[in-house]
Structure 1
Amino acid sequence: MHKDELIQLHQLLIYLRKYIEKKYNCDNNEFKEYDELNIYPHHIHRTKAEHIYTIFLLSSIIAKILSDNGKIPRSVSNLLRVSGEKIKKEIQRKRCKIKNTNT
């Protein structure tokens, strides 16, 4: 996907988050990890990889809430979480590589 498409998907997930928060009376603690990233769809200066990671993280949180309410299998949220962690590690690896190159 292109970065602009990822940003649109990210925004769609934000809308879904708002809907799920209302429907299932979620508190903000469930989305705390996502909120602490401070990466939102309007942050177009963020890298494509960062948006991909936030999409996987937000998707896994949403999937967990849905699986807790019996709407989808737990394996879906687990798979999204694992995929997100792989992307997070890749981002960290690239940052270390850039940092080492600059020093």
Structure 2
Amino acid sequence: MFDVNHIAKLARLGLTEEEKDRFAKDMTNILDFVKKLEEVDVVNTEPTAQVTGLENVTRPDQTSHRETEETRRQILANTPETKDNYIKVKAVFE
């Protein structure tokens, strides 16, 4: 049904004979299970995309405080180097 050597070549895996045998058994078990799933009668079953019922569980991005000019001044006063009211740091990329 499938060629272990071909799959290993596609995945660029160097497999020993023992690994090939184990992989073949594992794939056979997986494909047998999929075959069983295909036999399940789902004619009267409502299709679902997800089962939790949760929607939009993330929160919007919001700051916890407003930046004031005084806060900005204090931050810039505590940095080693600034440029045009921004903190200047060493280049990450050359």
Tell me which protein shows more helix as a share of its residues: 1
Q: Which has the higher contact order (CA 8 A, sep 6+)?
A: 1
Regarding TM over 0.5, the answer is: no
Q: Which has the larger radius of gyration?
A: 2
Tell me which protein shows more strand as a share of its residues: 2
